[in-house]
Structure 1
């Protein structure tokens, strides 16, 4: 007979329960709650996510089938479907948002020294969105098409460890490029995105914040280069390797201290 901890209980040990308790007290999440507190609701929903449950009835039936293991899972009893429904409607979402941000912070510290395939000494993010289809009769607040509802989840993924650093949930009609207005910009970081985020005004804000971006151009893009600045090393190399005739053509006039003009010619051209 196995007397060790269940796999679910071992996973739950990584959750900072003291931090969750402080967050619940901060928002008053358990005020007036009698049967299913915020911590128990988190356990139930984590179990449903890890076991791929598809409905409240499915969660109830699966927990009832493992009634003898509920104590080892940290649960007192099997919550009814109505209790789960009321808890999901009434619990403050900010509690679980704060817990998720705390877990993300801890996970990024653990993966900070992990080696990457990219030879870049900076943080690299991948930005994209996914559309989650919903039933229009149940989710009237998230219209998407005439026959269905949907929400869109915009995710900024840290490629070191594949950890989400930013998540924004909107209705399905929100364009991807608008999330750039909400994105926290990290100076020196690289942001990789597809052509759906191509907006020169918003990308220029990333440039002003000291970040870098990599994207693809649209097929119907109409742009022209206004000016080009070559690196100093490339300019010096071209000046050294230039012929005497070319160097004399690139002669520049520099005002001297006495007010007269003097010519500055590359040393190779003088010889």
Structure 2
């Protein structure tokens, strides 16, 4: 069915353009701009993400080959490579950060009715980071090691719907534990993280804020047992203890009891020691919560495979952050479209379909529903049969 709008234009209708306009005005993003404003740059970056464009020349050639369809996509003319490069360097990346945050709020509201992890009433977040390696000679603003540069994508993933609730982009030298200083803490929520985030003072601050953490204890942690709960070893739970930290500074930084659970994975045979401030949930539930942390690893793997965040269109800090935030906004935008249209297809399927059909003029709800029942075309009664079998 030809509805007069391309699929790309239909996807862009889910962007809150009025809110985006206010964001641009707040940052004076279009002040003195004659061509390729902030809104047009986002459209082009979203187009590049959806169609897997790898370079500025690639984007320019693809848009120039479809000039008759650009008006229906919301663009006036295909930009030159130099214009696009200048825009990536000069348009403030905070504009696209604010847009991504606005889309995240909307997506989390849509996915709030999704079943929670382990059917808990509280929100469950997985915290981790991923490193994107860069060339030190080109990206000298992002030091990592003596011979290479990198950016880190610190992500707090809401496990209800796999929507990132918080993202921070830093250079490769920022240690993961420092993120706890700027992490927004929600009272009553569970924060699942690996032992790279174990800092006693910061964990106690999270405890005082009313949140629960689940992590792994560091090797050689100095702690004395205060109380042991009865366990069933055939379930894999070796011990469930209340402990007090033994070191002088550690005991001062965390003066209350911690819960230590020693669990032996029946499949791998590996023994894991969990540390948490939650004393109500069963030990097996704590182990299952930590196992759910793997979803953030799958999220990183997914976005690196299906979004353009490993090869960058510019080398400046502003260009890199703009591209990453546009990629995040595009990911969340497709998640919103999927939920709004009640699609059963995965995000991967939606992106694959859009990558080859952004210029098609069909109804988006029909295009992104590949499992819809196919109707048989009516047979013509006067059609002659050539072979009667």
Interval of TM-score (by shorter of Structure 1 and Structure 2): 0.7 to 0.9
Give per-residue Cα distances to partners, 1:57-105, cap 9 Å, x unaligned: 2221222222222111111111111111111111122211211111111
Taking the TM superposition and a 5 Å limit, the aligned residue runs for 1:156-171 are 156-171=156-171
Give per-residue Cα distances to partners, 1:141-179, cap 9 Å, x unaligned: 112223321100100011111111111111101111111
Please tell me the root mean square deviation across aligned C-alpha atoms, in Å. Answer: 1.8
Matched length: 229
Task: Tell me if 1:211 matches 2:211.
Answer: yes
Distance 1:71 1:181 in 2: 46
SS at match of 1:129: strand
Shift of residue 229, structure 1, vs aligned partner: 9.3
Match of 1:85 in 2: 85
Match of 1:237 in 2: none
Distance 2:131 2:17 in 1: 32
- Report 1 or 2 for greater relative contact order, CA contacts < 8 Å, sequence distance ≥ 6: 2
Tell me if the contact between 2:134 and 2:148 (Cα under 8 Å) persists in the aligned partners.
Answer: yes
Match of 1:116 in 2: 116
Taking the TM superposition and a 5 Å limit, the aligned residue runs for 1:166-245 are 166-218=166-218, 220-225=219-224, 227-228=226-227
Taking the TM superposition and a 5 Å limit, the aligned residue runs for 1:89-108 are 89-108=89-108
Tell me if the contact between 2:187 and 2:209 (Cα under 8 Å) persists in the aligned partners.
Answer: yes
SS at match of 2:224: coil
Distance 1:59 1:221 in 2: 53
Taking the TM superposition and a 5 Å limit, the aligned residue runs for 1:65-76 are 65-76=65-76
What TM-score do the two structures reach when normalised by structure 1?
Answer: 0.80
Unaligned runs of 5+ in 1: 231-271
Distance 2:161 2:188 in 1: 19
Larger radius of gyration: 1
Distance 1:19 1:105 in 2: 13
Task: Tell me if 1:144 matches 2:144.
Answer: yes
Distance 1:188 1:138 in 2: 44
Distance 1:51 1:82 in 2: 21
